[in-house]
């Protein structure tokens, strides 16, 4: 017997184990009655304990004709009396998500005639897929309507009907099941077939916040949060905005402007820095070409222009060069040649740099690192080898 249908606010119950078995290192039990909700209809399963044994998962077992199977950390035995306790914090959040889902589904139906195609409430950010085209104004209207329904604090009832009565009930969606059908009614707001757990009044589901929407399979997917989870997100986001506000001497809701200003400034400085680096690299290249008239160059340069100078020299006809930039824990180097030089760069690298512990590679430009203190040795070996 599914106690959660009639007693959604109860979190403790006593019962007896009807069947119990173990398989593949896991333990299972079916009870005479249960408050544990199995994963179904977009709502996740409950967790908790049975005689203090953790309930890891709860499923509907189709093979056993709809029995509710509790997956346990340790075994129980058949006929045993057990006390079940739900993780109420988890379940209440599921009830908030689920009630918000019904409220939103009706709100978007009223706002724009959007039909609900599917729902997922397995995490704090839930989704509803609607039939309508994405549209900012509809999203705002749907969200506002849903929160009006929350503030109206409308009672929610559930009752059972026979499928012959479905037509006169005018449900929002056609039921997916037949036979006895459970109806969840938010008074004067929404009526739909559903087997999940819901709140007693809409007020408990608020606030409801649509946090994102996107085009999905020709319709719209909305992402929403409800109840405690929406509030917790607001608290976390507000804390971030407040800290940013303090950093930028601005009110939390006005931080966009100073951040935008800083970003603009940063782009400007980055552009200036790149231009200065270019100018410096060009100057260093000219100096090196003048210092080494035969264009076989070995020199130490600063780390922030190593790549730029190397790139320029590699494009200069007749150049063969080794540049080293000493750093704190290692040196960086660039060994390069213009395609007009006959030397075998790989052979040079193997002879001069590899014995010093160099790492790196490349064809016409070899970039890499050298262990600390070996930069000078590398330059000296290069000079000696090429006898300049």
* Nearest Cα to Cα of residue 105 among 178, 163, 38, 171: 171
How near is the Cβ of 155 to Zn ion at its closest, in Å?
15
Q: How far is CA 124 from CA 8, 44, 87, 105, 258, in A?
A: 20, 11, 16, 17, 32
Contacts 24+ apart (CB under 8 A), 352-355: 352/322, 352/378, 352/381, 352/382, 352/385, 353/378
How near is the Cβ of 266 to Zn ion at its closest, in Å?
49
- Residue 118 tokens read as 């599917």
Smaller CB separation from Zn ion, 93 or 295: 93
How near is the Cβ of 198 to Zn ion at its closest, in Å?
6
How big is the site for Zn ion, counted in residues (CB under 5 A)? 3
Q: Give the x/- contact pattern for Zn ion in 82-121, rule: CB under 5 A.
A: ----------------x-----------------------
Helix pair angle (256-291, 306-314), 10° resolution: 50
Smaller CB separation from Zn ion, 100 or 194: 194
> Could you tell me if residue 8 is left (phi over 0), alpha (psi between -120 and 50 degrees) or otherwise beta?
alpha
Counting contacts by CB under 5 A, is residue 194 touching Zn ion? yes
Smaller CB separation from Zn ion, 196 or 227: 196
**Residue, CB closest to Zn ion:** 194
Smaller CB separation from Zn ion, 98 or 191: 98
How near is the Cβ of 194 to Zn ion at its closest, in Å?
3
Smaller CB separation from Zn ion, 175 or 252: 175
* Nearest Cα to Cα of residue 86 among 13, 151, 25, 138: 13
Q: What is the footprint of Zn ion within residues 49-88 (CB under 5 A)?
A: none
- C-alpha 175/C-alpha 302 separation (Å) is 73
Q: Do the beta carbons of residue 262 and residue 255 sit within 8 Å?
A: no
Smaller CB separation from Zn ion, 176 or 243: 176
**Interface segment toward Zn ion; rule CB under 5 A; list 8-16, 196-204, 207-215, 261-269:** 196-204
Interacting residues with Zn ion (CB under 5 A): 98, 194, 196
């Amino acid at each position: 017997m599914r106690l959660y249908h009639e007693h959604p606010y109860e979190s403790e119950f006593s019962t007896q184990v009807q069947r119990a078995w173990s398989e593949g290192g896991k333990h299972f039990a079916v009870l005479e009655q249960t408050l544990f909700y199995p994963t179904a209809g977009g709502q996740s399963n409950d967790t908790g304990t049975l005689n203090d044994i953790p309930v890891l998962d709860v499923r509907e077992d189709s093979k056993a004709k709809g029995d509710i199977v509790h997956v346990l950390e340790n075994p129980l035995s058949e006929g045993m009396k057990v006390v079940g306790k739900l993780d109420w914090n988890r379940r209440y959040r599921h009830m908030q998500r689920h009630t918000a889902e019904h409220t939103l589904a009706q709100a978007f139906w009223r706002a724009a005639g959007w039909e609900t195609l599917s729902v997922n409430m397995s995490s704090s950010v839930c989704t509803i897929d609607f039939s309508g085209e994405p549209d900012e104004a509809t999203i705002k209207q749907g969200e506002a309507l849903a929160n009006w329904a929350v503030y109206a604090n409308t009672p929610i009832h559930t009752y059972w009907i026979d499928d012959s009565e479905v037509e006169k009930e005018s449900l929002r969606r056609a039921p997916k099941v037949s036979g006895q059908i459970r109806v969840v009614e938010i008074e004067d707001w929404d009526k739909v077939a559903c087997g999940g757990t819901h709140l007693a009044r809409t007020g408990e589901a608020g606030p409801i916040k649509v946090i994102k929407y996107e085009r999905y399979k020709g319709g719209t997917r909305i992402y929403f949060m409800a109840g405690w989870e929406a509030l917790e997100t607001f608290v976390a986001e507000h804390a971030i905005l407040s800290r940013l506000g303090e950093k930028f001497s601005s009110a939390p809701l006005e931080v966009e402007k100073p951040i935008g200003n800083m970003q603009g400034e940063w782009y400007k400085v980055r552009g200036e820095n790149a231009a200065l680096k270019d100018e410096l690299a060009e100057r260093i290249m000219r100096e090196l070409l003048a210092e080494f008239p035969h264009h076989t160059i070995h020199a130490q340069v600063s780390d922030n222009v190593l790549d730029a100078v190397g790139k320029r020299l590699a494009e200069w006809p007749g150049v063969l060069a080794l540049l080293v930039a000493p750093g704190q824990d290692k040196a960086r180097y660039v060994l390069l040649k213009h395609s007009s030089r006959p030397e075998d760069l790989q052979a040079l690298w193997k002879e001069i740099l590899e014995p010093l512990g160099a790492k790196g590679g490349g064809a016409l430009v070899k970039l890499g690192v050298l262990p600390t203190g070996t930069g000078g040795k590398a330059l000296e070996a290069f000079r000696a080898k090429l006898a300049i």
